[in-house]
Structure 1
Amino acid sequence: MRIPWFLVSRVLAQQNAVVELLRVSPVADEVARRFAAAGHRLYLVGGSVRDALLGRLGTDLDFTTDARPPQILEVLAGWADAVWDTGIAFGTVGAAKHGATLEITTFRADSYDGVTRNPEVTFGDSIEADLLRRDFTVNAMAVELPSQQFVDPHGGMDALVARTLDTPATPQESFGDDPLRMLRATRFVSQLGFTPAPRVVEAMTAMAGELARITPERVQTELSKLLCGEHPKDGIELMVRTGLAELVLPEVPAMKLEIDEHHQHKDVYHHSLVVLEQAIDLEEDGQDLVLRLAALLHDIGKPDTRRFESGGGVSFHHHEVVGAKMVRKRLRALRYSKEVIEDVAQLVYLHLRFHGYGKGEWTDSAVRRYVTDAGPLLSRLHKLVRADCTTRNRRKALGLQRSYDELEARIALLAEAEDLNRVRPDLDGNEIMRLLGLPPGPLVGAAWKHLKELRLDRGPLEHDEAVTELRRWAAGQGIQPPNE
């Protein structure tokens, strides 16, 4: 009799988990034996068990125990390399040992007020009650240590094998307790490639508005993790399908523009998802949140700028300008850092400029300005522009790629000759003040800017030529240099 495939997968998954647990056993076994010696039970739990089953357990380990926080501290005293109690009000004690980070939490049996996501912390007395309050069944498994006995009362193993995302309690109870779990579901879809159960999608759709109870900072954290997952397109599509995106990134579903019968423009929403995937394919050093945000949001200005022209065409004039402003507004609302906001907005603002390159008509001055305006974002801009070439016309797509190859080659040649990464005027501020007899102030800045514009237009100037141009500018400003 053949063993059903899912049972084989189940056995293999358990074997993977044992291998992973043995890999970290110097820490897990040591701490478990200390708890057992003190008369307490200890379980590896939640995401740590899930990741162990998937063969990807890291050095951040989550445990749960029947010991109360003061007892946890006693067990860890003299053993851990470091201990911190910043989460002790929620029953959590942190520790470091042998390069691993441990979070040990007393069994919980919390209740929620249905208004915020903050629980009324209540300690529990059983692993079963603790697992019932967790977000998803794949995170509601535990391994008792040191015996390595599995505890799986809610079918988490079967859900993991089937790559299904479901909740231990009903989705309505789970999401009512903590609405952030709905967004976390989209994150797990992106990170792990799981498919949410129909009842989970139904509850997310019905309860999407509850996400308004969550602070922007927590929403931003989940969104960033989603975007940096392996399947962010799937996570975004789930957000849009359930209505969560209307509260997180309403500009994304707004890109679902009605396509006219003559198909005068692309489906902007699906185009943006394709650009996101193509940008990811171009990443070189791991997940790039700035690039991924820019790829997803590069066309969010199109809905506000769409115009139907008299000849039957459709235009989106200045959508990159409008889009950059929208990006700043949305990312500020999500509490992203100033650096992330400005970098993403600048990429959105610049993403269309290449299309003025045509067949290489740009002057060297235009190439210098392209590089200077991109600054340290140039490498990301290259990736974004290439990812944005999504036309189905293969000949046109190849032509665009060849044009960009040529632009990059020109940039490389100019950079080698002129050090484009550090474009500065040919005279510095101190020399400008000396030559014009000016004190520090706005006029010096204006002179500096004028010389930089000349540098961009004409390339490096000889020193005497730069001095002549400075004096010519000063005369136009009514400035009388000394010794004249």
Structure 2
Amino acid sequence: MQRKQISIPSDVRVLLDKIRHAGFDVWVVGGAVRDYLLGVPARDWDLATNALPGDVISLFQRVIPVGIRHGTVQVLTEERSVEVTSYAGRGHEGILAELGRRDFTVNAIALAYPTLELIDPFGGREDVAAGLLRGVGDATDRFREDPIRTLRAGRFVSVYGFSLETRTFDALKNAVEGLKTVAIERIREEMFKLLVGDSFLEAFEWMRRAGVIGIILPEIAQGPPHHAKAAAHQRTCEHLLRSVQFAPKRVRLRLAALFHDIAVLVQPELLNAGSLRDEASLSARIAAQVLMRWRAPKKMALQVSKLVESHISTHRHAWSDAQIRHWLAKLGIGLTTDLLDLAYADRLSKGVPSDSLQEIELLRRRVHSQMKADAALQIRDLVVNGHDLIGELNLAPGPVVGKILRELHKVVLNEPTLNDRLILLDHARELMRNDEFQGG
């Protein structure tokens, strides 16, 4: 059956036409061609041209010279950022040299414009069909040129389900030390993309065997010093990785799944010795440290740490409605949803009986019920605010106003029917008789 012709978005086509009409050759390269051959929607659109970077900059109004030292600029359209790479020469000779510098054969395929002729000098189409990830030419040279490719290989395994060709894997193993020279932001972005792939487990195992994980995440890669605990260490590792695989594909959630029991790997003595609270607290600190090392956004690091520390125990299904409301107020709806999904993935990875999964589903239904009940889950949902307290109770603006509002919110979380203006103002007056609520 003949493959359907590639569909090029109109904004990308405008760029292609403008470069061509200026007298230059231009090709669609990289991920868009690979995704076309895979039969999936293109994630990114990259172009290659014999126009110099200065020529490209002069042709378009919105250009970011992000990689201009390497001949690459980003052209911004209304819909996306398109990477445009310059090469020397005209015709096939120039594009063949450019493709020879690409990382993997599946990315070293070009589509001529406007003829849409495929140029595939390294057998990339066959490798796409076979699900094989193979370095272009000498894979050792490709990894040396940019060591981030050792981790990018794992991303392609995770996202596309590729397997690593033997010689490429051997070259990767010999090049992993180069990762230590790569900007941590690039490592973080590749790791985040790897985390949310359908084949995360397979990718992680490839990267562990190659030594990549030992460099970027030694907390998981390092085994216990004593052989007696090696089996327990391995079981914990497998549990964490399966939890990630079972979790919905959201970066924040999958990070929490990866870290939620990591304290036992870092401090094996906690196994069957420490309390669940101690384990959760230490795991949260380790998660925060790793994400800080990766220079993740502070907000994400805090949220992942909070998810790990708040990991649902087996008894929370028995919580009262008031406890659930306090929980929602503390974490918010988004993190609460992640926590429920994490708990479900955690139990799936352990192969627990179905009634344990049903407990989480029951808790999920009860949480949703409280979310729909129009309860005052946030202080701003109270029928009184700081201005009311200042005006009605002759309070001076200051910290005491916030303290009183927080106490009123606890009252309403315990009993939503008390979210009444007169009731809350009366309760505020009672609080003011307490020394704790006097002054600033």
TM-score by length of 1: 0.77
- 2:32 corresponding residue in structure 1: 48
Range that drifts further, 441-450 or 207-216 = 441-450
Return the offset for 1:441: 2.2
Q: Is the 8 A contact 1:350 1:374 kept in 2?
A: no
Relative distance call for 1:432 and 1:206 in structure 2 (3 A) is: same
For 1:404 and 1:219, the matched residues in 2 are separated by: 35
State yes or no: 1:329 paired with 2:310: no
Could you list the per-position Cα deviations for residues 214-259 of structure 1 after superposition, in whole angstroms to 9, with x for gaps in the alignment?
1111111111221232322222222222221223222333488989
Structure number having the greater helix percentage: 2
Q: Specify the structure having the higher radius of gyration (Cα).
A: 1
For 1:366 and 1:213, the matched residues in 2 are separated by: 48
Amino acid at match of 1:421: L
SS of 1:373's partner is: helix
For 1:262 and 1:170, the matched residues in 2 are separated by: 37
Range that drifts further, 243-252 or 168-177 = 243-252
Return the offset for 1:183: 1.0
Return the offset for 1:338: 2.1
For 2:224 and 2:349, the matched residues in 1 are separated by: 18
For 1:421 and 1:159, the matched residues in 2 are separated by: 53
State yes or no: 1:357 paired with 2:319: no
Amino acid at match of 1:156: G
Could you list the per-position Cα deviations for residues 135-194 of structure 1 after superposition, in whole angstroms to 9, with x for gaps in the alignment?
111111223333443322222222222211111132221111110111111111111111
Q: Is the 8 A contact 2:35 2:43 kept in 1?
A: no
For 2:383 and 2:15, the matched residues in 1 are separated by: 65
- Among 352, 356, 360, which residue is 1:404 paired with? 360
- 1:67 corresponding residue in structure 2: 51
- Among 190, 208, 222, which residue is 2:158 paired with? 190
- 1:245 corresponding residue in structure 2: 213
For 2:247 and 2:428, the matched residues in 1 are separated by: 44
- 1:442 corresponding residue in structure 2: 399
For 1:229 and 1:386, the matched residues in 2 are separated by: 19
State yes or no: 1:86 paired with 2:70: no
Range that drifts further, 44-53 or 320-329 = 44-53
- Among 87, 92, 97, which residue is 1:107 paired with? 87
Q: Is the 8 A contact 1:63 1:104 kept in 2?
A: yes
Could you list the per-position Cα deviations for residues 59-100 of structure 1 after superposition, in whole angstroms to 9, with x for gaps in the alignment?
8532223333345567xx4xx7x5525254433355567968
Q: Is the 8 A contact 2:264 2:279 kept in 1?
A: yes
- 1:119 corresponding residue in structure 2: none
Return the offset for 1:418: 5.3
SS of 2:40's partner is: coil
Relative distance call for 1:289 and 1:231 in structure 2 (3 A) is: same
For 2:369 and 2:62, the matched residues in 1 are separated by: 55
Q: Structure 1: give runs of 5+ residues left out of the alignment.
A: 1-11, 110-123, 281-286
Amino acid at match of 1:68: L
Amino acid at match of 1:365: A
Return the offset for 1:453: 2.9
SS of 2:347's partner is: coil
State yes or no: 1:303 paired with 2:265: yes
Q: Is the 8 A contact 2:223 2:233 kept in 1?
A: no
Amino acid at match of 1:405: E
Amino acid at match of 2:235: D
For 2:382 and 2:45, the matched residues in 1 are separated by: 54
Relative distance call for 1:256 and 1:428 in structure 2 (3 A) is: farther
Q: Structure 2: give runs of 5+ residues left out of the alignment.
A: none
Relative distance call for 1:188 and 1:415 in structure 2 (3 A) is: closer
Amino acid at match of 1:422: Q
Relative distance call for 1:163 and 1:441 in structure 2 (3 A) is: same
Return the offset for 1:270: 1.0
Amino acid at match of 1:324: A
Amino acid at match of 2:48: T
- Among 1, 5, 8, which residue is 1:24 paired with? 8
SS of 2:48's partner is: strand
Q: Is the 8 A contact 2:74 2:81 kept in 1?
A: yes
SS of 1:143's partner is: strand
Q: Is the 8 A contact 1:179 1:211 kept in 2?
A: yes
Equivalences for 1:251-400 in 2 at 5 Å?
A: 251-254=219-222, 267-280=235-248, 287-304=249-266, 306-307=268-269, 313=272, 315=274, 317=276, 318-352=278-312, 354-357=313-316, 360=318, 362-376=319-333, 377-390=335-348, 397-400=353-356
Relative distance call for 1:455 and 1:264 in structure 2 (3 A) is: farther
Q: Is the 8 A contact 2:134 2:168 kept in 1?
A: yes
Amino acid at match of 2:258: L
Q: Is the 8 A contact 1:246 1:253 kept in 2?
A: yes
Could you list the per-position Cα deviations for residues 312-335 of structure 1 after superposition, in whole angstroms to 9, with x for gaps in the alignment?
x55553211111122122112212
Return the offset for 1:391: 6.6
Percent identity (aligned): 27
- Among 152, 157, 171, which residue is 2:139 paired with? 171
For 1:303 and 1:181, the matched residues in 2 are separated by: 28
SS of 2:395's partner is: coil
How many pairs are equivalent? Answer: 432
